[in-house]
């Protein structure tokens, strides 16, 4: 009964960022209160004194998480944290969340209670209020849609498009561990599927597992910035890997970047596990994703403020656009950094 247009372009042909760009090209804000629309970690809405910051994510079973090794409590926690991370990446403070879920009848009330236990634990940890949502059925699988709402000061909100040549590039925490945690869980899943009598032994890999299953957002960094009166010149959270994020900042700011391989922080456990998997630890850090650390740039005059702060690493410099986005290796070579997003496994392909 419904008509089909004749032309058919596969959605995968555009890529995730291409598809979003394509569909949102008409989303030009008209309301004066819309300070920032599509294209950053979160939207920014003027409300007089302060600004309201809004971010949203949709998590899909089989795409973003595998119920076989994801405890529901951790899933609930992570679903919230990844959204809060977007609000912090605007240098704002999340205050409220809404959570909508679609569930198949495979889920029991007890399973949902576990999921919500994780959600409430995150709310408590990050001092946000659950203020709304929707609960509905799905024909198959679990879907979680979270919207986070935060508060910020207009002149302190940090965007992706405001990095300047000469700014220093900073990274919090360490990168690649969440990706290696995922590899580990996938490996154990395969072993278990082949022989259910072999129980996984993941005791020694607590750190990598937690980075994947129960990540934290860098609330502490935003608080430290405020305390030290530091306002980054640009900021983004590292959800898709450093390469992808620095590319977003460079593209939107109209600049280039040089990243020093020696400045990319990698946890010793991630180093070790990468070698076990015969992977390059730096590639894991650059392209792995799901670390939820912060990538930000600072004015060189602020370097003293950053230098002595814990868990912040200066990893490069913003340069002219025509120099591109490069990696300066420990061996002294210079490579192009690929603009590579996190590619979700697609079982239909």
Near a second copy in 174-193, by CB under 8 A? 188-189, 192
Q: What's the min distance (Å) between Cβ of 161 and a second copy? A: 15
**C-alpha closest to that of 264 among 313, 309, 215:** 313
Among 310, 331, 332, 347, binds a second copy (CB under 8 A): 347
Position 348 contacts a second copy (CB under 8 A): yes
The least CB distance from residue 33 to a second copy, in Å, is 6
Shortest spacing between CB 9 and a second copy, in angstroms:
4
Kindly state whether residue 206 participates in binding a second copy, applying the rule CB under 8 A: no
Give CA–CA dist 163/285, Å, rounded: 22
291-330: which residues touch a second copy (CB under 8 A)?
Answer: none
Least Å from the CB of residue 196 to a second copy: 10
Kindly state the tokens that stand for 61: 């079973």
Identify which of residues 134 and 204 has a Cβ nearer to a second copy in the complex: 134
Residues 41-60, one symbol each (x = binds a second copy by CB under 8 A, - = not), give -xx-x-xxxx-x-xxxxxxx
> 171 pairs with which residues across the strands?
295, 313
Check binding of 112 to a second copy (CB under 8 A). Answer: yes
Is the Cβ–Cβ distance between 224 and 77 less than 8 Å? no
User: Least distance in Å: CB of 14 to a second copy?
Assistant: 6
Residue written as token pair 């007089």: 48
Q: Measured between alpha carbons, how far is 150 from 232 in angstroms, rounded to an integer?
A: 18
100 binds a second copy (CB under 8 A): yes
Nearest to 240 by CA among 177, 307, 291: 291
CA distance 293 to 274: 19
Matching residue, tokens 């230098």? 307
User: Is-contact 273 208, C-beta < 8 A?
Assistant: yes
Say whether residue 137 binds a second copy (CB under 8 A).
yes
Q: How far is the CB of 11 from a second copy (least distance, A)?
A: 6
Residue closer to a second copy, measured from CB, 54 or 242: 54
DSSP 99: E
17 versus 207: smaller Cβ distance to a second copy: 17
**Minimum distance between the CB of residue 106 and a second copy, rounded to whole angstroms?**
9
Which letter does DSSP use for residue 349 in this model?
A: -
7 binds a second copy (CB under 8 A): yes
Q: What tokens were used for 296? A: 């930000």
By CB under 8 A, the count of residues binding a second copy is 101
Closest to a second copy by CB, 28 or 331: 28
CB 300 within 8 A of CB 225: no
- Regarding 200 and contact with a second copy (CB under 8 A), the answer is yes
Task: Write the DSSP string, 48-70.
Answer: SSSEEEEEEEEEEBTTTB-TTT-
Q: Which of residues 140-169 bind a second copy (CB under 8 A)?
A: 140-141, 143, 145, 147, 149, 151
Measuring CA to CA, how many Å separate 229 from each of 169, 222, 300, 311?
18, 10, 15, 17
Minimum CB distance to a second copy, residue 121 (Å): 10
């Amino acid at each position: 009964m419904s008509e089909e247009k004749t032309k058919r372009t596969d959605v995968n042909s555009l890529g995730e960022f291409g598809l979003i760009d394509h569909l949102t090209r008409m989303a030009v804000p008209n309301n004066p209160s819309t300070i920032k629309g599509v294209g950053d970690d979160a939207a920014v809405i003027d409300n007089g004194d302060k600004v309201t910051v809004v971010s949203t994510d949709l998590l899909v079973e089989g795409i973003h998480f595998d119920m076989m090794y994801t405890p529901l409590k951790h899933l609930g926690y992570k679903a919230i944290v990844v959204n809060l991370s977007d609000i912090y990446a605007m240098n704002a403070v999340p205050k409220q969340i809404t959570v909508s879920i679609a569930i198949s009848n495979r889920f029991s009330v007890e399973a949902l209670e576990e999921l919500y236990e994780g959600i409430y634990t995150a709310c408590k940890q990050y001092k946000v209020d659950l203020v709304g949502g929707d609960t509905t059925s799905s024909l198959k699988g679990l879907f979680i849609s979270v919207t986070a709402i935060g508060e910020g000061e207009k002149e302190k909100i940090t965007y992706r498009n405001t990095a300047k040549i000469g700014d220093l590039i900073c990274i919090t925490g360490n990168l690649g561990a969440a990706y290696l945690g995922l590899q580990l869980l996938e490996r154990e899943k395969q072993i278990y599927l082949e022989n259910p009598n072999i129980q996984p032994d993941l005791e020694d890999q607590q750190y990598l597992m937690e980075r994947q299953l129960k990540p934290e957002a860098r609330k502490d960094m935003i608080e430290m910035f405020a305390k030290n009166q530091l306002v980054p010149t640009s900021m983004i959270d590292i959800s898709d890997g450093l390469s992808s994020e620095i590319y977003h900042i460079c593209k939107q700011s109209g600049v280039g970047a040089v990243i020093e391989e020696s400045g990319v922080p990698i946890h010793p456990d991630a180093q070790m596990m990468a070698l076990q998997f015969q992977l390059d630890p730096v590639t894991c850090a650059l392209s792995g994703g799901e670390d939820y650390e912060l990538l930000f740039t600072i004015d060189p005059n602020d370097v003293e403020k950053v230098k002595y702060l814990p868990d912040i690493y200066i990893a490069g410099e913003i340069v002219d656009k025509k120099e591109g986005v490069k990696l300066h290796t420990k061996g002294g070579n210079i490579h192009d950094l690929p603009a590579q997003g996190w590619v979700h496994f697609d079982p239909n392909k």
